Amino acid sequence: MGNCVCNSSAKVDAAHTSTTISAISKSDASSSSLSLPIEILSSPNLKPFTFNELKNSTSNFRPDTLLGEGGFGYVYKGWIDEQTFTASKPGSGMVVAVKKLKPEGYQGHKEWLTEVNYLGQLHHPNLVKLIGYCVEGEHRLLVYEFLSKGSLENHLFRRGAQPLSWPVRMKVAIDAARGLSFLHNAESQVIYRDFKASNILLDAEFNAKLSDFGLAKAGPTGDRTHVSTQVMGTRGYAAPEYVATGRLTAKSDVYSFGVVLLELLSGRRAVDRTKGDVEQNLVDWAMPYLGDKRRLFRIMDIKLEGQYPQKGAYVAATLALKCLSIEAKARPPMTEVLATLKQIEVPKSSGRSSQSQRRRVHVPIKKSHAPINLTRKAAFPLPSHGQSPGVH
C-alpha cells in the first residue's frame, strides 16, 4: 500500500459541519510541544479508531506486518471486521493498510489532516478509499483499503517484477486519467499536486487508484487563474512553470500525467541518476523522439519486447508530448486526455497479434537497478523561484 497523507487547507465543501479537536505534536523547529488544531470535516463514511484498536489490528505494529515506508510514516497490514469495521485479530476479517505517521511535526500533521478531509469527502472508483483515522495524543493514523498489487512504480522499476503488458499499461493510464479528471472537474476543483508512479496503486485486477492526497490543494476560484503556494512535489514530475513561480493550476497536474505516461511507454524513471548525463532526465531525453513515428521505438520499454501496436504507441506518445508542453495553456485538459486514451486501440490478445500491427524491437536487455521501497519517498519543497530546479 502506498502512502496517502494530508494538509489543513483541504476544506472540500465549506458547507459541511466540521469538528475541531486540540492536539499536541512535536514542532519541526524545536523540541518543545506545539498545540496543533485539528479540524476534521464531518463525514459519515469515516470511522474513528482508537490507537489501541489499531495496535491490536497490526499486532502492535510488528515488523512482519510492515508493508512499506513513506515520507511521513510507515504503512502496516492490519485487519478489521468486514461488517462493523471494528479492529479484529490479525488474520481475521478484511485486510487494510494502516499508515502510522511519524511524530515529527507540523508538515506531517498538515498532510495527515489534508488526506482525512479530502478522502473523507471525495469518492470515486479511481481514488483510494479511506476507511477511517485515529487521532490520539501525538498519534496520527489512517486506515485505507488494501490494494494487493502495490504501486505502479514497483511494477515498472523494481528488479524482478513481471513486466506490464501494453494493455495493462493503457488500462492504468486510463484509470489514472479518470481519477485526475474527476478531481479537476469536481464542484470545488482539487489540484492533486503530487501525481507520480509511486502514488498510483493497483488492486488485484490492475485497477488503478490515486493515493496520497497530502499535497492536494483547492483550485482557483472566481476570476483567479492560479493558486500561489509554496513549491512542493517531486523532482522530475513537477511542471516547470510551477517550480519557477509557485503558481499552481490544474495544468500542473496535466504535466505530471505526461511524465507518468512517458514512464509507462519507456519503462524509465522520471529522474534516474544511474544513467548518463543526457539520459538522467526522462523528459529531456525522450522529447526528440515523441513526435517521430520512425524513431519512437527507440524510447519504448524493451521489456515490452516489441509487443505493442505502433499506431497506439504513437497516439500515446503524441499525447504525452502535448501534456509536457512548456506552455501550460497548450496542455490539454484531463477530459481530453482521457478521451484520447480511450481511443487508443488495445489488442484483445496482449501477446499474439499480426506482425503488421506490432513492431518487435530487438534491443539488448540491460540490468535494472536496485529495488525500491514499497511506498513513496517524501515529497519535499522544490527549489523556490530563485533557484535552479536541478535534481539533487
Active site residues: 194
Is 329 assigned a ligand-binding role in the annotation? no
CA distance 313 to 325: 19
Instruction: Answer for the pair 104, 28: CB distance below 8 angstroms, yes or no.
Output: yes
Count the neighbouring beta carbons within 10 Å of the beta carbon of residue 377. Answer: 13
CA distance 232 to 328: 18
- Is 325 exposed, middle or buried, given 0-12, 13-18 or 19+ CB atoms closer than 10 A? middle
What is the edge-to-edge ordering of all strands in the sheet holding 208-210? 150-151, 200-202, 208-210
CA distance 135 to 141: 7
CA distance 161 to 35: 45
Locate 269 and state its grid cell.
524513471
- List, in sequence order, every residue forming a beta bridge with 142; answer none if it has no partner: 99, 133
Report DSSP state, residue 298: G
- List, in sequence order, every residue forming a beta bridge with 38; answer none if it has no partner: 21
Closest CA relative to residue 250, chosen from 182, 171, 175, 315: 182
- The identity of residue 184, as a single letter, is H
CA distance 215 to 195: 10
Report DSSP state, residue 345: -
At 112 the three-state DSSP class reads helix
- Point out the annotated binding site for ATP: 100
